[in-house]
Amino acid sequence: MSVLVNKDTRLVVQGITGSAGSFHTIQCMEYGTNVVAGVTPGKGGQKFQDSVPVFDTVQEAVDKQGANVAAIYVPPPFAADSILEAIDAEIPLIIAITEGIPVRDMAEVKARLSTSNSRLIGPNCPGIITPGECKIGIMPGYIHKPGKVGIVSRSGTLTYEAVWQITSAGHGQSTCIGIGGDPINGTSHLDAVKLFNEDPETEAIILIGEIGGTAEEEAAAFIKEHVNKPCAAFIAGRTAPPGRRMGHAGAIVSGGKGTAEAKVEALLDAGISVAETPSHMAEALFKVWNP
């Protein structure tokens, strides 16, 4: 078991013929992900890698191939439009990898999402993986191992650190969800924690956050009240200067809000084991979880 994606996932890749889209789609296919369609407007009728049909629209990919998850590698000026197209085609799960989408576009997407049944993950994220079953996104597949730890994170490489520490210790992951580093995203820490909490195969949770916003605090409050599974966390950006965006568009301390200290405090208050350094994420989990 796992959350959101598994061996039954039927993936359509929007922007499949672009350089990032084609490269990562091949990687995902090699991992075993069931890629059933691609979409590039104007290139309908082609075959990607001689096997995957390419369509002009997402609706065709749904109608003809039964696609139920969309991955988006479309460049930032057009990415919001691609998300909206996937929502209109009633794709239940949309994963936007694209980095650099204007905030205004995401505000519009978010408003549309609230009146749909689709879930968006990202944008500006590494994607989602259920080890051994389905990899959607840009993460290196081989560091993962099927197992019982659910990981949710705003950062790609920081997730790989956590995954690698768990795998190196002989354990594995149920599902890893990269929710992305943008100020407006589709799925929050809280949403992911709820999914992991309800998943019987996820025994423990690692939550990786960073400065900016209050998403980590909201997840901590929920964990305090509703989650009995062991949880560990790490927050990046304790040394970040206020008022500067640290790479991710959403990683900024402004007006005294979104500090690492406030997040760590909320996590500790919820009884979560907080790692002092990024090298100690697995260690922090093993303090509260005996697999």
Contact call for residue 107 and another protein (CB under 8 A)? yes
Residue 44 or 76: the one with the smaller Cβ distance to another protein is 76
- As a whole number of angstroms, the distance between CA 84 and CA 142 comes to 32
Q: Exactly one of 66, 92, 247, 271 binds another protein (CB under 8 A); which one? A: 247
Burial class (CB in 10 A: 0-12, 13-18, 19+), 262: middle
Q: What is the dihedral of CA 188, 71, 85, 108, to 10 degrees?
A: 30
Do the beta carbons of residue 267 and residue 225 sit within 8 Å? no
Contact call for residue 18 and another protein (CB under 8 A)? no
Q: Exactly one of 52, 96, 158, 272 binds another protein (CB under 8 A); which one? A: 158
Contact call for residue 129 and another protein (CB under 8 A)? no
- As a whole number of angstroms, the distance between CA 288 and CA 291 comes to 10
The site that binds another protein (CB under 8 A) totals a number of residues, namely 62
Q: Exactly one of 161, 191, 199, 216 binds another protein (CB under 8 A); which one? A: 161
Contact call for residue 102 and another protein (CB under 8 A)? yes
Q: Exactly one of 50, 225, 255, 290 binds another protein (CB under 8 A); which one? A: 255
Site for another protein in 39-68 (CB under 8 A): none
- Residue 248 falls in the annotated catalytic set: yes
User: Pattern 183-202, binding to another protein, x per CB under 8 A?
Assistant: xx------------------
Catalytic residue among 24, 144, 189, 248: 248
Q: Exposed e or buried b for every residue in 161-188, given b needs 16+ CB within 10 A?
A: bbbebbbeeebbbbbbbbbbbbbbbbbb
Q: Exposed e or buried b for every residue in 95-118, given b needs 16+ CB within 10 A?
A: bbbbbebeeebbeebeeebeebeb
Both tokens assigned to 181: 């580093």
- As a whole number of angstroms, the distance between CA 200 and CA 134 comes to 18
State the catalytic residues: 248
**Binding residues for another protein, per CB under 8 A?**
24, 27, 76-77, 100-108, 110-112, 138-140, 142-143, 153-161, 164, 181, 183-184, 208, 210-214, 234, 236-241, 244, 246-251, 255-256, 260, 276-280
